[in-house]
Amino acid sequence: MPQASDEEIAAVNRSLVGHGLDVYELQVARTDLETIFMDLIEGRS
């Protein structure tokens, strides 16, 4: 999976704040290998 660059993350944050949303934290969501495998075999990808 491609990961967003620091610049892209900052741009998303600026956009959220610019639209009046309060941002308290940004966090990378990581999926473990088991979850990816289960998603693939269950057709959720």
Q: How many H-runs (helices) and E-runs (strands) does the chain carry?
A: 2, 0
Q: Amino acid identity of 44?
A: R
Residue 45 has pLDDT above 60, yes or no: no
| Sign (positive or negative) of CA dihedral 30, 34, 35, 41 | positive
**pTM, to two decimals:** 0.57
Measured distance CA(43)–CA(40) in Å, rounded: 5
The pLDDT value recorded for residue 43 is 82
Contact criterion met (CB below 8 Å) for 15 and 7:
no
Q: What is the pLDDT of residues 1-36, one digit of tens each?
A: 578 899 999 999 999 999 999 999 988 777 889 988
Contact criterion met (CB below 8 Å) for 16 and 23:
yes
Domain ranges for the chain = 6-41
